[in-house]
Amino acid sequence: MTRCWSNIFAAIVAIAVAATIVACAQPKTVEHNGELLSLTDSLLKAGATDTLRLGRLHSGEMAVKTITLRNDTDKPFVILRHETTCHCTSMQYDKRPVKPGEEIDIECTFDSRGEYGWQMKLVNFHISGSEHPFRLFVEADIE
């Protein structure tokens, strides 16, 4: 009887180890084409909002999409900081001044591990010279 329980225990441990390995595996990365967003004086004054649609993802995939902000104002700006509503969404960008007419790339990474169904996350970018943050909604449908 003891031998039977030890075999059952060994099987449970093996299943738990396998599940941990699968859960900790690197997620598949899905690259998306970028898009261009124009920031103007009026948008910075009133507060601009846009949506970054990542489409349909499988649970465990990591989507990476680059958006480009073009400075269509008459003054340079700097992205001072950003805030996200979820740890699953991260942003990477240069913290350099963007002169009028120049562009800056922002790489958005969305990690779908642990997320299911329709997801909408908010990222607030605080930009110098702006009274309100630039609000970017990140949307994905996780299968």
What's the pLDDT at 31? 45
Q: Is the pLDDT of residue 16 over 60?
A: no
CB burial of 42-60 (b: ≥16 within 10 Å; e: otherwise) equals ebbeeebeeebebeebeeb
Q: How confident is the model at residue 9 (pLDDT cuts 50, 70, 90)?
A: low
Rounded to whole angstroms, how far apart are CA atoms 66 and 43?
21
Q: Is the pLDDT of residue 63 over 60?
A: yes
Mark residue 47 as left, alpha or beta (left: phi above 0; alpha: psi -120 to 50; beta: remaining). Answer: left
Give the domain ranges of the chain: 27-142
Rounded to whole angstroms, how far apart are CA atoms 78 and 38?
14
Which of 2-6, 19-23, 29-33, 94-98 is predicted most confidently? Answer: 94-98
HSE, side-chain direction, 13 A CA sphere, residue 106: 25
Beta strands 29-40 and 117-127 are unpaired
CATH of 27-142, one of 3.40.50.300, 3.40.1390.10, 3.40.50.1820, 2.60.40.10: 2.60.40.10
99-113 pLDDT, tens per residue?
Answer: 999 999 999 999 999
Rounded to whole angstroms, how far apart are CA atoms 57 and 60?
8
The pTM of the full predicted model, rounded to 2 decimals, is 0.73
